[in-house]
Amino acid sequence: MPQSRKKPVVIVTRKLPDAVETRMMELFDARLNLDDHKWSQAELAAAMKSAVVLVPTVTDRIDAALIAAAGPQLKLIASFGTGVDHIDLKSARQRGIIVTNTPGVLTEDTADMTMALILAVPRRLAEGERLVRRGDWTGWAPTGMLGHRIWGKRLGIIGMGRIGTAVARRARGFGLSIHYHNRKRVHPQTESELDATYWESLDQMLARVDIVSINCPHTPATFHLLSARRLKMLQPHAVIVNTSRGEVIDEETLAKMLRTGEIAGAGLDVFENEPAINPKLLKLDNVVLLPHMGSATIEGRMAMGEKVIVNIKTFVDGHTPPDRVLETEY
């Protein structure tokens, strides 16, 4: 009888859904993080000395030093997530390590959360909820908890990829006018379907829209894309929603402008130094703060796990994984 092939060592850095972990145990020599603690750089380094495949998440910083110290057997970093800004792609390429992610499966969930924030901030939903919980609500009043309607307003989307396009489709149903800025213009058919206006200049778009939705990835080129200079271009009644990455906004300037009324409100699911939240944001009533839960659905997490497994299985079988990340894309 032919000898069975040895299962590759797959080390998973965080607790994943039970069904995903069970399947990994069946297919691979899987080492799991059962108590779901966030690993230190030392723990990551130890894992990378023995793993053939590392399955990290956005909470793990896989930098050049870690990759340089990895064992020669490490051949694949199969990230559980779409963004890859936590992985030094150049260093991985130089070491001959393939990097994969889980694109597409989080699109609808993240777009739903973005739309929820687009509704929540102008209509002051979080403020109203807190008012009720504090026991301070004394009943309906003609001028009580007045917000702003979103119907007829202009939405400016930064990053018209899968998620940005899904946000635009939802926003159209709520009567918003779609404007967008992207590295390149989307297909004319998509633009026509969404009745979307393209702005080559981000500066010009920001000065004209009522709501800004950030849906671009975090890269060196998008770090503080919404800089202090650009934030000051927004109209005082403008609202910012961010379900992408906190590093895209100059958070310190944003907090200051929200406090002084230079910007009307913000809905933030991500933060520049998460899980630490800027204390200035915590003091503001005109900000909705969420714990990076834009993609947090059971269905989404299961689909992410399935993609990770397919990427690993395809690699182990000697083929190029379907979700290989190329450095040039980021």
245 labelled catalytic: yes
How many of the other CB atoms lie within 10 Å of CB of 257? Answer: 21
Helix (H) or strand (E) holding 197: strand 197-198
Q: Rounded to an integer, what distance in angstroms lies between the CA atom of residue 316 and that of residue 320?
A: 9
The dihedrals phi and psi of 87, each to the nearest 5 degrees, come to: -120, 135
Residue 225, classed as helix, strand or coil, is coil
* Cβ atoms 225, 216 nearer than 8 A: yes
Helices (H), 174-321: 188-194, 202-206, 228-231, 251-260, 279-282, 298-316
5 labelled catalytic: no
- Catalytic position from the list 21, 193, 262, 274: 274
How many of the other CB atoms lie within 10 Å of CB of 33? Answer: 19
Shortest CA distance to 47 belongs to which of 75, 72, 15, 11?
Answer: 11
List, in sequence order, every residue forming a beta bridge with 306; answer none if it has no partner: none
**Longest C-alpha distance within the chain, in Å?**
82
* Cβ atoms 317, 53 nearer than 8 A: no
Q: Rounded to an integer, what distance in angstroms lies between the CA atom of residue 299 and that of residue 285?
A: 32
- Catalytic position from the list 245, 247, 251, 301: 245
Question: How far is the CA of 94 from the CAs of 69, 122, 227, in angstroms?
Answer: 13, 47, 32
292 labelled catalytic: yes
- Catalytic position from the list 93, 95, 123, 292: 292
Q: Rounded to an integer, what distance in angstroms lies between the CA atom of residue 185 and that of residue 14?
A: 37
* Cβ atoms 238, 209 nearer than 8 A: yes
Which positions are catalytic?
245, 274, 292
